[in-house]
Amino acid sequence: MKILGIDPGTVTSGFGVVEVVGHEIRYVDCGGICTPSGMDFPKRLKLIYEGLTGVIERHRPDAVAVESVFFAKNVQSALKLGHARGVALLAVINAGLPVSEYSPTEIKQAVVGFGLADKEQVLRMVMALLSLREAPRPLDASDALAIAICHIHSAKMKKTMSRVEAAAGKPVVVKDIRNRQKI
């Protein structure tokens, strides 16, 4: 099973492709779709769309995971990021692929085991999990790989929880003792 992770951005949209073989997660490809800063914004969105469409056609993933919107430093940045996410989601939906969205905290929790991990910790864990000798570039690509890894771990957890719930005959509530939140 191939998973495409997308870290949307207006300057660089990172992508990362991993494949699940047995119990192993293998690196396939990663990179960034970079748009020129002086280019009109609608044309930048078109480049992102075309770039992601090309990645999807080249790798033919089975599923796609995208980072969800979080807070931005200002409203203008949030709106532009929302546009980039919209274009990314459109490319995925037009390809007929299932898409899942994960918050930055969920991604860090799934990859590092700590929802407040910094970018360097995420990068190092991605390299370790995928047995990479060099750091993926651009940095947005390593984030995209983390998103794909998060999806794999989340899918495994959902499958396990479904089996547990089926055996118990009722929904199971898991509590995170450290954060005192229900998961």
β-bridge mates for residue 16, sequence order: 5, 30
Q: Is 67 a catalytic residue?
A: yes
Closest CA to 1 of 34, 35, 28, 38: 28
Q: Considering 7, 19, 106, 143, which one is annotated as catalytic?
A: 7
- Half-sphere exposure at residue 107, Cβ-oriented, CA atoms within 13 angstroms: 28
Q: Considering 19, 67, 106, 143, which one is annotated as catalytic?
A: 67
Q: Is 7 a catalytic residue?
A: yes
Q: Considering 19, 24, 106, 140, which one is annotated as catalytic?
A: 140
Element spanning 128, H or E: helix 119-129
Closest CA to 50 of 74, 29, 68, 33: 33
Q: Residue 86 and residue 151: Cα distance in Å, rounded?
A: 19
Active site members: 7, 67, 140
